[in-house]
Every structure is written in C-alpha cells, then in structure tokens.
Amino acid sequence: MVILKLLDEIERARASNRIVAEVLNRLREKVKPGVRTKDLEKIAERIVEKKGAKPAFKGYHGYPHSLCISINEVVVHGMPSERLLKEGDIVGLDFGAYYKGFFGDATITLPVGRVSEKALRLMQVTEQSLYAAIAQAVEGNRLGDISAAVQSTVENAGYSVVRDFVGHGIGKSLHEEPQIPNFGKKGRGIELKNGMILAIEPMVNEGKYEVQVLPDGWTVITKDGSLSAHFEHSVAITDNGPDILSKLD
C-alpha cells in the first residue's frame, strides 16, 4: 500500500530531509584528495547528532555505518573505511536521517579534485536523469513515467541503468511502497497522487548494467568494472507539482 502524507507530515519529512541536505552540503566541502572516508562519516554523524536526529542507515538490515560512500566502480552501499579519496575518483555520498518520526534520504556524486571528462559526463547525465524523473512526479502521471524518464535520459547518452536496486517511497519508514525502478515504460504502473513522497535514485553505469555484491555482503560494484554514478532526492508530489524535500542550497 502506498501511504499518502498530509501537508503537516510533508513538512515533518522536509525537516528530516533538510538535515540530510545540510550533511551532504558539508561533506561536499570536505571531499578532496587525501581525505579518509571514515572521517567523512564522522563529520556526518556529528551533524545529525547536533540536530537531535539519528542516522537512518546504521543498523538498517544490519548495515554497520551511517553513510554509504561509493567510489568509482562501486554502485551503492560502499562502506566508510581507512581508504583515502584520491585525485580523479568520483565519490557517491548517500545519507539518510530520522527526525521526529520521519525519514529523509538523498545522494550526490562528486569529483575528487580533477577528474576525467568521461567521469564528469557520467555524473552530469545521471543528475540530469534524476531531474527528468522529478519533472514527472505530478498527480495523474504513472510511476512508469518516472522510470522511463530516467531510462531514456541515460540510454540516449549511451549509459545503462542498474536493474537490481531501485528507488522507493519514504516517510515513517525508510523504504515504503512503491518501488521505483530506473527503467520502465511511460503510462504503466500505479497512478501518482498528491501526498506521495518518493525517493528517486538513478544508479547509472558507464558500461553494462550488471552488478555484483562483494563478499562483505554490502558493497555493490559494476560487473565490468566500469564507473558508476548515483544521485537521489526525496520528492513530495503536491498541488504545486514536485517538491524536492532534500534540495541542497
């Protein structure tokens, strides 16, 4: 069942997502060659704690960290470690917060120092596909309109969308119905309604779409070793159209 939110619930979800946005904004300033990925997690944890919020991912299905840090060929769920960021890497930062009963969830992918043209283009296309999808998040559209917007943006640029991981509804739970695949057909799927909050999160591979999970049980990498990028926003569907709750300013 897809849970529709009241206006005051959307405002509570916004408060949680604003904390996520603040964390990602802060981390964006910190991402540089030589930074230890564990230290980025520490910074994130300090901010949520100061806000009186909780990190959403820690302990979720046993995930042992507060932040997902996915470097280069890592698609999602990369774990903070002693690893240092290095010039030319691209790094996905995925953070979730829980605050006053509601979850927030967002992801950005950033260049570390100077990166290749092809890495830049992959990140740009992935972010564009997110915004193309968000534009479809209006009442009366179908879920497939969101999925198709991601897929066509990505495939027209010569990349592929990951099949094995999807976006999701979000609210009093981190993951609610519906699942939001990044591939699909216009006009198909459930009808979108005002009051839905959707975490839309394209994961895009430079090469083929197949992925594999490393023996740590979490880290997802591209099977062909190609680069992957990930962007995510939590978006409310409202009378005034799509409202990006996790907007970074």
Here's the x/- map for Co ion, 99-138, by CB under 5 A: it reads as ------x---------------------------------
H-helix or E-strand spanning residue 122: helix 117-134
Of all residues in the shown chain, the one whose CB is closest to ligand MF3 is 63
Here's the x/- map for ligand MF3, 219-248, by CB under 6 A: it reads as -------------x----------------
**How many CA atoms lie less than 13 Å away from 199 in the CB half-sphere?**
29
**176 touches Co ion by CB under 5 A:** no
Which tokens is 114 given?
């100077």
Residues counted in the chain: 249
Residue 152: Cβ-neighbour burial (10 angstroms; 0-12, 13-18, 19+)? middle
H-helix or E-strand spanning residue 167: strand 167-169
- The residues near 215 (Cβ < 8 Å, ≥ 6 apart) are none
Size of the site for Co ion (CB under 5 A): 2
Here's the x/- map for ligand MF3, 163-182, by CB under 6 A: it reads as -----x--------------
Q: Indicate the residue type of 99.
A: Y
Q: Closest separation between CB of residue 65 and ligand MF3, Å?
A: 7
Backbone angles phi, psi at 84, to 5 degrees: -100, 145
**82 touches ligand MF3 by CB under 6 A:** no
CA separation for the pair 194, 164 (Å, rounded): 28
**131 touches ligand MF3 by CB under 6 A:** no
Choices 27-35, 84-92, 143-151, 191-199; region in contact with Co ion by CB under 5 A:
191-199
Binding site for ligand MF3 (CB under 6 A): 57, 60-61, 63, 68, 77, 94, 105, 107, 168, 199, 232
**Using CB under 5 A as the criterion, which residues of the chain lie in contact with Co ion when the complex forms?**
105, 199
